[in-house]
Structure 1
Amino acid sequence: MNREELIKKWLDHNLTPEEQIAFEQLEDAKPLTQMDETLKGFKNEGLSIDHSYLALQKELKLRQHKKSSWLKPALKITAILVLGLSLYYYTATLDTAVETPIAQQSTVALPDASVVELNANSKLVFNKGRWSETRSVNLEGEAFFKVAKGATFDVITPQGLVTVLGTQFNVKQRQNYFEVTCYEGAVAVTHQDQSFNLKPGDTYSSIYGMTSTKTANNPEQPEWLLGESSFKSVPLQYVLMELENQYDITITPQDIDSSRLFTGSFTHNDLDLALQSVTIPLNLNYTISGKSILIQRE
């Protein structure tokens, strides 16, 4: 196997034991290994072996014809160039992801001083490197946004798009459930190829494809930030799902109609009280067994 093939296989981490010995006997082995150690912390899947090899190919070919003292400085320069490209690629494409486990919440500060309160069992993804070009986040779950004034701010969810300039609003996206409530400013919602404009107090919701827009005297922020989940004419199955999110439990409904509408609330700091708040108005019973809850008719 010739020298170039050995080096390319080394870049690909694909040397056999015999080839590794042959590679280590090359005069170039030591500087190449040192360069590899320098770049280890900055490697990214987006940088292919072929690109790395092309970055070195010119020096490697010249090295075959002229063994001189300039090789190591040239390799160092190449290493700096590759390192710079790696850093640029890494910082430009790296996303920041914040996930909250069940029964926990977190606060996320965005690059423009906007603040996101992330509810339990939710995920927020954004890119710091591209933030000056586009203010956008991806959301799965539920979050309350306090957006700093500036360019357009987008919240992208699997079910719909929320666009604002500077405002406060809540977005909830769960399985077949999408809800946006405006608390301050104005919010544009795009869902199922239709657009809706919300003013303070307005809520747009879509549950199993059934959409509605309603106006109410909403408080300054969603109640879940105060340790309580509140519902207005929401199918019971989503109320039970939210109980699971806030208490890290598994609820099994038995012989009950989970599509029944529920209006009310439950606390996040007392499981028994929360279960009573949901079951008593609907004439249901519950049984607790560890982290498993059975809900059935009285």
Structure 2
Amino acid sequence: MDFAKYAAYRVTDFLADDDFIDGVLQPTAQTALFWSRLAERYPAQQANLAQAAAILRSYRQQDTFADATIQDELWQRIAAEVGPAMLVAARLRARRWPTVLRVAAAVIPLGVGSFAFWYSQDQQVRTAYGEIKTVDLADGTQVVLNGNSSLTYQRGWGHRTRQVWLRGEGFFRVAHLNQDTAQVQPGERFVVHCRGLNVEVLGTTFNVNDRPGKVNVGLVTGKIRLTTALPNQPPTALTLAPGDYVEYAARRISAPRRLAHPEHLTTWSRRQFSFTNARLGDILKTLQDAYGYQVTYAHPEAANLQIEGEINVAGVAELLETVSASLHVRIAQQGHHLVVN
């Protein structure tokens, strides 16, 4: 991203900037560094950065109000803080935000200060390639992160709705707080956000794989509800039963398919690999996403070769050996570079 284009941005410009919104709501170490350096380079922009971030943060923290009167009151309070002109642009932009962000919350101005300081209020756990890490949240929920993944949540997490933001792959064992599924209180909801898809649960175990291009969700036990809220599209929702597996790509949720062994979704957390009727390209992409391997095909069509039946192996070396023997291909390894001949 280019620093210069932000030199003259107003609050409404930041609210209309997809990179800024993604950096605030789906932070990574790289984006945090970018916005911190931007604030250092343009001190005059610190107030605008802080105010725009406060608006986004305020929306994310509160509960959604469907009542139009309450929403109108909210916008009037925002107008009092940011001015009528800014209100128009912010309101237009808000129509493009996910529903979970369009919530009743008065904007709390942060004033002139370090944007980097505000940014540090989000807590983030990251894993390196090949690293598996277990995160214990304050409510008793446990999240196992695969390699090259991150889990973001707010400081003081759990006092309101329990929300986390996932990039990469994670297996969730969610603590069951409510007793009545028909009367779920705000603090009992647990929501995982990833690339426009929201996974809402009450008490369950499930796997989410959020990699470039698509998000895969598989339910092991319990019950989860998937929702989307996309620009110029009506919200969609889908409830999964144990064993259901769906793909979210191109802003659409696929029809659920049944898994014969949903427990295989979590074999990666034990550093094992499990595939059923998998293509070579999909198998090696797993190594790319979670372990940082680079893959080169001497003949690109080899990526479509399929292994019929199941593979259950422990470790990368055994996986490569099994794939090579099953498909009669040669996979040369040079460090983290794989060449398929």
TM band (smaller chain): 0.5 to 0.7
What is the RMSD of the two structures over their aligned residues, measured on CA atoms? 3.5
2:284 pairs with 1:240: yes
Residue of structure 1 in register with 2:315 after alignment: 269
Aligned match for 2:135, one of 85, 90, 108 = 108
In structure 2, distance between residues paired with 1:99 and 1:224:
17
Residue of structure 2 in register with 1:203 after alignment: 245
State TM-score, norm by structure 1: 0.62
2:320 pairs with 1:278: no
SS at match of 1:223: helix
Q: Partner amino acid for 2:224?
A: V
195-204 vs 165-174, which moves further: 195-204
CA shift digits 1:163-191 (9 cap, x unpaired): 10111111111122321111221011225
Residue of structure 2 in register with 1:64 after alignment: none
Is contact 2:138–2:157 with CA below 8 Å preserved after alignment?
no
Q: Partner amino acid for 2:225?
A: A
Residue of structure 1 in register with 2:263 after alignment: 219
More strand by share: 1
Is contact 1:247–1:268 with CA below 8 Å preserved after alignment?
no
SS at match of 1:166: coil
In structure 2, distance between residues paired with 1:239 and 1:119:
15
In structure 2, distance between residues paired with 1:159 and 1:280:
40
Q: How far off is 1:96 after superposition? A: 0.8
Is contact 1:264–1:278 with CA below 8 Å preserved after alignment?
no
In structure 2, distance between residues paired with 1:251 and 1:113:
39
Count of matched residue pairs: 218
Unaligned runs of 5+ in 1: 1-44, 52-85
CA shift digits 1:196-237 (9 cap, x unpaired): 211122212246768341222423871112221223355533
Is contact 2:139–2:175 with CA below 8 Å preserved after alignment?
yes
SS at match of 1:244: helix
Residue of structure 2 in register with 1:67 after alignment: none
CA shift digits 1:36-71 (9 cap, x unpaired): xxxxxxxxx9985xx9xxxxxxxxxxxxxxxxxxxx
State TM-score, norm by structure 2: 0.55
In structure 2, distance between residues paired with 1:203 and 1:104:
25
SS at match of 1:222: helix
The percent of aligned pairs where both chains have the same amino acid is 26
Residue of structure 1 in register with 2:21 after alignment: none
Is contact 1:227–1:268 with CA below 8 Å preserved after alignment?
yes
Residue of structure 1 in register with 2:148 after alignment: 121
Unaligned runs of 5+ in 2: 1-42, 51-112, 178-187
Greater gyration radius: 1
In structure 1, distance between residues paired with 2:310 and 2:263:
15
